[in-house]
Amino acid sequence: MTLKIAINGFGRIGRSVLRLVLDRTDMDVVCINDIAELETLAYLFAYDSVFGPYPGAVSHRTGHLVVNGHSIPVHRQGDVAGLDLGGVDILMECTGRANTRPVAEAGLRAGAQRVLISGPSEAADVTAVVGANDASAVGAQIVSNASCTTNALAPLLKLLDSAFGVETGHMTTIHCYTGSQPMVDAPRGGLERSRAGALSMVPTSTSAGRLVDMVLPELAGRVTARAVRVPTASVSALDLMVTLRKAPKLDEISHWLESVAGGPLIGWTDQPLVSADLRMRPESVVIQSSEISVAKGGLTRIFGWYDNEWGFSNRMLDMAQVMMGARPASP
């Protein structure tokens, strides 16, 4: 069965999702909705400052984006409920605005069977992360795919808790700047978030701690989280410190982490990599082996990279399959 996908909001995640779907035969993007001019959307898809030019032919004609000869209808509806999405299996809600129930369910009113939101949303029926609690998304109509950082952290925590027992912990995400930050100093919510994103390291909050409590309720209140936004354009990292009930030795935790890596969710590297080397990695998190350590008393540090756009977009496609029952959910 070919999964029919519509994309509402053709920004960083929407464009990444399309790039990924175009390389697959089991999915098809049947339409895009965004209020920007079609010429602009085609240009931003063809030329990407982070991922580079799209390796194919991109053009546009009246009401359509054309990629490698494949024509995709593009609409400019301010309210996606005004579209006819009959026959659409999943609406990828990528506007970042689906924070209320009327907005979140607009795709359902348009005729889509289900809606997958590309970020945290209290309006969703369930917040789910592949590798953590994705079974809860099977058959759900409106699902939040949580955040990129939660996707990096939650599957790792679940495995750690199962193998060693997580007593308590703290995660700091070293996160590249995003569109929520200004290019120059300007009012933008919190005072520190009002500073130029490409000029300073900015200590700030992250939703990952709250979301981990939601997707892994058995660990609720045990793991806190904060963020430092840094002046890089892509790829983020998580620095996790945990106290484990079965306190492992360094070689034990290292060998265990290597053994659970290698699949679509958790990667592994023995190389001395820097953030630019992880661009377009599809995993939720890639463990850097040289950065694992165990302090006296058993405090364990695990460091992992994640491409906060590309990895998250891969999980959007995985979650869409889970929602439609096209792949088994994790235990």
94 assigned to active site: no
For every residue of 197-258, DSSP letters joined together read TTTS-EEE--THHHHHHHH-GGGTTTEEEEEEEES-SS-EEEEEEEEESS---HHHHHHHHH
With residue 145 as reference, give the H or E element that holds it.
none
Contacts of 88 (CB under 8 A, 6+ apart): 4, 5, 6, 30, 31, 107, 110, 111, 112, 113
Tokens of 235: 């790829």
For every residue of 71-132, DSSP letters joined together read EEEEE--SSGGGS--TT-SEEEE-SS---SHHHHTHHHHHT-SEEEESS--TTSSEE--TTT
Which of 247, 248, 202 shows the shortest CA–CA distance to 227? 202
Q: Which of 31, 94, 148, 176 is catalytic?
A: 148
CA torsion 103-177-160-323 (nearest 10°) is 30
Is the Cβ–Cβ distance between 193 and 204 less than 8 Å?
yes
Is the Cβ–Cβ distance between 81 and 101 less than 8 Å?
no
Contacts of 52 (CB under 8 A, 6+ apart): none
Which of 288, 52, 24, 61 shows the shortest CA–CA distance to 156? 288
Is the Cβ–Cβ distance between 15 and 38 less than 8 Å?
no
Tell me the one-letter amino acid at 46. A
Q: Which residues are catalytic?
A: 148
